[in-house]
Amino acid sequence: MSEEWDGPVEDSGEPYSASNRVVEFDGRIWSVVSEDVDFAGMTARRDVIVHPGAVAVIALDERERVLLIRQYRHPVGRLLFEPPAGLMDTLDETGWQTAQRELAEEAGYRAGDWHVLLDMYLSPGGMSEAIRIFLARDLEPLANGRIHTGEAEEAHLPRAWVPLDEARDLVLAGRIGSPTAVSGVLAAWAARDRGWDALRPADVPWEARERLLRTGRVRVPRPHGR
């Protein structure tokens, strides 16, 4: 069988057949399932983190400075600079609505101009998390500051405004490692280089998430305390 692909270069396809599904862990935010996947007659056991999905916001002010927040991330044990971001923790919101909420809650801003900047899977070899990164411009601070709804890691979120070119250099130098910051900053820099003419509308259908929902690969987090 030839391993040279001669079709269109774009993500495609439907889930392979799977059986013997076992929920190994069922947490408040995500689950871990194991199942046997049929690879054209060859069966292999796979562990999958079933994730709710997330959004992030690359917010640019009138001076083309990127808004980053400093937040502790316990799995890597470091304070990371990241764009405002959050889980798709309800099916009652679109990605755009979640992005607007997170920009207010984590940074204390609203935006008059929104576009889709980037869609990606965070770690498709092990989890089902799809992320949509938005570009927000025409920023306005909320009158009473950010809406404090978080706890623990989100109780204190210092802000930094970084010129887009400087943010790009920080990413390329390995000084900023958050995936939403890395991909979002580089995508914004590339989009600006093209005159912003490749941006998609903020309400464009999110095909990756719709497919995950349709195939049962999205986990809706439980309320706190359950």
Pairing of β 109-121 and β 130-141: antiparallel
pLDDT tens profile 41-64: 899 999 999 999 999 999 999 999
Residue 214: inside a domain, yes or no? no
In a domain, 186, yes or no: yes
Do 73 and 182 belong together in one domain? yes
Q: Which domain holds residue 29?
A: 18-50
Alpha-carbon distance 209 to 15, whole Å?
A: 14
Do 114 and 31 reside in the same domain of the chain? no
Query: Are 93 and 165 part of one and the same domain?
Result: yes
Residues 39 and 95 in one domain: no
In this structure, is residue 88 part of a structural domain? yes
**Residue 9 belongs to a domain:** no
Assess whether 23 and 122 both reside in one domain.
no
| Least-confidence region, from 36-45, 81-90, 145-154, 215-224 | 145-154
Residue 223: the pLDDT is 60
Co-location of 193 and 122 in the same domain: yes
Average pLDDT over residues 80-106: 94
CA angle 120, 33, 21 (to 5 degrees): 120
Q: How confident is the model at residue 225 (pLDDT cuts 50, 70, 90)?
A: very low
> Between 194 and 226, whose confidence is greater?
194
pTM over 0.75, yes/no: yes
Check 35, 64, 93, 154 and give the catalytic one: 154
Q: What is the pLDDT of residue 154?
A: 72
Question: In this structure, are 138 and 171 located in the same domain?
Answer: yes
**Domain assignment of residue 102, yes or no:** yes
- 46 and 106 co-located in one domain: no
**Tokens of residue 200, six digits:** 């998609």
Q: Name the more confident of 144 and 166.
A: 166
- 60 and 160, same domain (yes or no): yes
Say if 191 falls within a structural domain: yes
Q: Are residues 28 and 105 in the same domain?
A: no
Known active-site residue 154:
yes
Say if residue 37 is exposed, middle or buried (CB neighbours under 10 Å; 0-12, 13-18, 19+): middle
pLDDT digits (tens, 9 = 90+) for 26-44: 998 899 999 999 998 899 9
67 and 45 in a common domain = no
Domain-located, residue 7: no
CA distances to 72, 77, 176 from 36, rounded to whole Å, are 36, 33, 37
Domains in the chain, number: 2
pLDDT tier at 91 (50, 70, 90 boundaries)?
confident
- 129 belongs to a structural domain: yes
At 47 the three-state DSSP class reads: strand
- In the structure encoding, which two tokens stand for residue 225, read together? 């305390």
Residues 74 and 185 in one domain: yes
Are the beta carbons of 81 and 167 closer than 8 angstroms? Answer: no
Phi-psi region of 64 (alpha: psi -120 to 50; beta: other; left: phi over 0): left
Where is pLDDT greater, at 152 or 6? 6
Give the CATH number of the domain where residue 109 resides: 3.90.79.10
Distance from C-alpha of 124 to C-alpha of 128, rounded to nearest angstrom: 6
What HEC string does 96-159 produce?
A: HHHHHHHHHHHHCEEEEEEEEEEEEECCCCCECCEEEEEEEEEEEECCCCCCCCCCHHHCCCCE
